[in-house]
């Protein structure tokens, strides 16, 4: 099977460099019409220039594809809405949104200013929300949409000096989980990427031998699958060095400790049982946890639950 994107219109934020550039080029090579969005700032989010986005768009056009560049600041909803309007004016629709743009302002939490915390969260979380909101109604009307959010192992697993970045990146999981349910009836599928690659955002952090294995182009095949017609939904895909994995969030079985009579001492005494991973499962939604706890309590108390 050969996956193609003929007739599809894609918006890629942060498309002027690194991962985003490769996402744009590989989408276009498979037939997509691409909006290359990039504010063109530095890694810490300062400055701006349309040149990086235009360079990628021109590269696509020279190869026979269709692309336009866009310099919208994704933290400003009105600019994002104008970008979506431009795409629809030119091509009539928006099928794919890849939320890739990001910045870094790394410091230990003790030394980090709240301005730096807020700026990173604004770009990653609110920027992603702005772009997703701007395409949401169009995708509902089309009964078709593929949206990718970009998370990070720094958020999922933690990394020193990145409380701001980690908080914003882990927020992608919550956003995906909710929008998966809200978009399902309109054939909108939403997934999250957790990539690792040798890009300018991580310049100098990898040993040379490791960096040689971590080209950003090696992540993009997974991205294209997540925004393809037959994509899954509510999936966290790890990707790097040509390797791919799926990340799951699991919950251990419910341990009933007596209801209203339970105390903190009971929790402490049963901690090894509560935290035992045997029998852990991945839940489909928030009420899955509610149902699990209610069923365990009812079984312990001999209460019959009516459906």
Known catalytic residues? 165
Pairing of strands 33-37, 67-70: parallel
CB 196 within 8 A of CB 214: yes
Q: What is the 3-state secondary structure (H, E, C) of 179-225?
A: HHHHHHHHCEEEEEEEECCCCHHHCCCCCHHHHCCCCHHHCHHHHHH
**Which residues fall within 8 angstroms of residue 70, CB to CB, at 6 or more apart?**
35, 36, 37, 38, 50, 53, 83, 86
**Which residues fall within 8 angstroms of residue 121, CB to CB, at 6 or more apart?**
164, 167, 168, 171
State how far the Cα of 120 lies from the Cα of 132, in Å rounded to an integer: 18
**Which residues fall within 8 angstroms of residue 167, CB to CB, at 6 or more apart?**
117, 121, 155
Residue 138 structure tokens? 């169009």
């Amino acid at each position: 099977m050969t996956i193609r994107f003929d007739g599809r219109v894609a918006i890629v934020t942060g498309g002027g460099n690194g991962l985003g550039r490769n996402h744009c080029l590989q989408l276009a090579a498979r037939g997509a019409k691409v909006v290359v969005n990039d504010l063109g700032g530095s890694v810490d989010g300062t400055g701006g220039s349309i040149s990086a986005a235009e360079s990628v768009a021109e590269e696509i056009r020279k190869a026979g594809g269709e692309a336009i560049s866009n310099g919208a600041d994704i933290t400003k909803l009105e600019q994002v809405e104008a970008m979506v309007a431009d795409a629809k004016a030119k091509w009539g629709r928006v099928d794919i949104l890849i939320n890739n743009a990001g910045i870094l302002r790394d410091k230990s939490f003790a030394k980090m200013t709240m301005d730096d915390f807020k700026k990173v969260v604004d770009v990653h979380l609110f920027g992603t929300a702005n772009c997703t909101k701007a395409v949401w109604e169009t995708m509902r009307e089309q009964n078709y949409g593929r949206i990718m959010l970009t998370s990070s192992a720094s958020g999922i697993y933690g990394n020193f000096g990145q409380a701001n970045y980690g908080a914003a990146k882990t927020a992608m999981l919550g956003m995906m989980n909710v929008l998966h349910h809200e978009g399902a009836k309109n054939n909108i599928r939403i997934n999250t990427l957790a990539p690792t690659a040798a890009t300018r955002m991580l310049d100098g952090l990898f040993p040379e031998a490791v960096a040689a294995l971590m080209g950003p182009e090696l992540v993009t095949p997974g991205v294209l699958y997540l925004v393809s017609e037959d994509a899954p939904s509510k999936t966290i895909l790890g990707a790097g060095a040509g390797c791919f994995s799926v990340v799951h969030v699991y919950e251990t079985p419910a341990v009933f400790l007596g209801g209203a009579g339970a105390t903190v001492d009971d929790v402490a005494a049963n901690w090894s049982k509560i935290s035992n991973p045997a029998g852990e499962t991945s839940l489909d939604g928030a009420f899955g946890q509610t149902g699990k706890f209610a069923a365990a309590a009812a079984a312990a108390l001999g209460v019959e639950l009516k459906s």
